[in-house]
Amino acid sequence: MGDAARERRIVEEVPKKLLIGGRERDAAEGKTFPVEDPSTGEILCEVADASPDDGMAALDAAHKAQAQWAATAPRDRGEILRRAFEMVTEQADDIAMLMTLEMGKPLAESKAEITYAAEFFRWFSEEAVRISGEWKVNATGSGRVLVMRQPIGPCLLITPWNFPLAMGTRKIGPAIAAGCTVVIKPAALTPLTILKLADILAKAGLPEGVLNVVTTKSTGKVMGPLIADPRLRKLSFTGSTEVGQKLIEQSAQQVLKTSMELGGNAPFIVCADADVDAAVDGAMLAKMRNIGEACTAANRFYVHADVAEEFTKKLTDRMGSMTIGRGVDEGVEVGPLVEADQRDKVAELVDDAVQKGAKVRTGGQVPNGAGYFYPPTVLADVPTSARLVKEEIFGPVAPVFTFTEDDEAVRAANDTEFGLVSYLYTRDLQRAIRLSERLEAGMVGLNQGMVSNAGAPFGGWKQSGLGREGGDVGIDEYLEIKYVAMNV
């Protein structure tokens, strides 16, 4: 069982107030909201519930700090991120416990997220000193072209609940490296990890006002005035496509620069020539990472008829044998979903598929007891009319479909408004290249079940988003290009 005293200590040590201008403060109206442990339904603590006035105060602080931060030497900005990387790494065990308590994922998964999340700070600490420009002779030879890249200005970052640390570092890292100040609004379901991260950044030497944290349950009411304020220059959001569309619409009034990492409906294609055991390994990672609560999670498994039964049986055996329980307990592989509504949605999608003819190979029933658990589930013979073909599952459910021709698999894979990531398993190099080029997605996992990498551009096509996070282009989202024409 988990160590209750350690759990209490870790939660108690996290600041619970707003962070504005370097000062921790209560919400202006004195309100708080509870943070719940999804494995028990019990309340861990209360945190400040910001008002619109608090949101504007955070933007005031970011605006005030912007000029000085932009003028700070790139090496100094990078060194702060590097120190924060080291501190996050050193405190990985406690941060992992905190993340598991508020989000539910097993400790091993939380520790893996910390490794991934910290890498964004290390990566962008190095990118801070590599912001480049251009100098060239113009076409007539009578002048010069000078191109420079400068920080865009105060940024609003809105992060989701499913990767509480990584979605923060993936946005904060490039913003700080570029010389931008930040207002960050973490998800109300998992605010503690970002509050802990902000405390680490302050101890790493980040100046007051550069990072401001606003926790609230009223996101639209509190963030709306910031989006409408001309001092805000950039909005970065990770979350559902539905919410992202509304934010883009609001941002249009200020022609605000936006980057959006939105929903996914990832296909996982297993060709007849695939290594089936490797494909099952990849499927376990692509489906069960983060309990399936990931925009990159495999949502639809298209398996060639020649290997479909072998793949389905092996996947069923693996998923059916996973240990379910509270994420802090030893040996647990599958924690709870984040809240009751999320579990109900997953159960509803499974029930819909079964009612339409899908066969349950394992799982498929909500267990009794406390917490928001749903068992790993494999569905076979899934009809194309099932809702989960079009809707993002966001849970530990693997629906398996069959195909006989490559063209059939590609058409099915691309038959969605989303285009974040696709997975493809084949041992034929020509087929691998040919199908990878045809898949309508911003990322392709070729014979591997995970694409996330701090050094690679993460983002999607179609309604899966705008812009890229990570890689050598990730910092571009926080920079403006200026061209200077010179006569000589």
Q: Which amino acids are annotated catalytic?
A: 261, 295
- For residue 426, CA distances in Å to 270, 304, 430, 439 come to 7, 11, 10, 14
- DSSP class of residue 469 equals B
Alpha-helix residue ranges (DSSP H) falling in 252-339? 276-288, 308-320
Asked whether 133 and 146 are in contact (CB, 8 A), the reply is yes
d(C-alpha 177, C-alpha 474), whole Å: 11
- Tokens 């370097």 belong to residue: 22
Reference 186, options 176, 200, 201, 171; nearest CA is 171
Q: Tell me if 73 sits within 8 A of 307, measured CB to CB.
A: no
For the record, the structure tokens of 240 come out as 């559902």
d(CA 137, CA 155): 35
Closest CA to 35 of 12, 19, 57: 12
Quickly count: other Cβ atoms within 10 Å of residue 157's Cβ.
Answer: 25
For residues 477 and 174, the answer to whether their CB atoms sit within 8 Å is yes
Nearest to 422 by CA among 298, 238, 307: 298
Tokens of 63: 């605006």
Angle in degrees, 0-180, between the axes of helices 429-438 and 406-414, rounded to the nearest 10: 30
In angstroms, how far is CA 481 from the centroid of its own chain? 27
List, edge to edge, every strand of the sheet that includes 18-20.
23-25, 18-20, 211-213, 182-185, 155-158, 234-238, 257-261, 465-466
Is 405 buried (19+), middle (13-18) or exposed (0-12) by CB count in 10 A? Answer: exposed
Rounded CA separation 320/373 (Å): 14
What's the CA angle centered on 393, arms 389 and 395, to 5 degrees?
145
Q: Angle at which helices 166-178 and 192-203 pack, to 10 degrees?
A: 40
Q: Any alpha helices (H) in 274-321, and if so which ranges? A: 276-288, 308-320
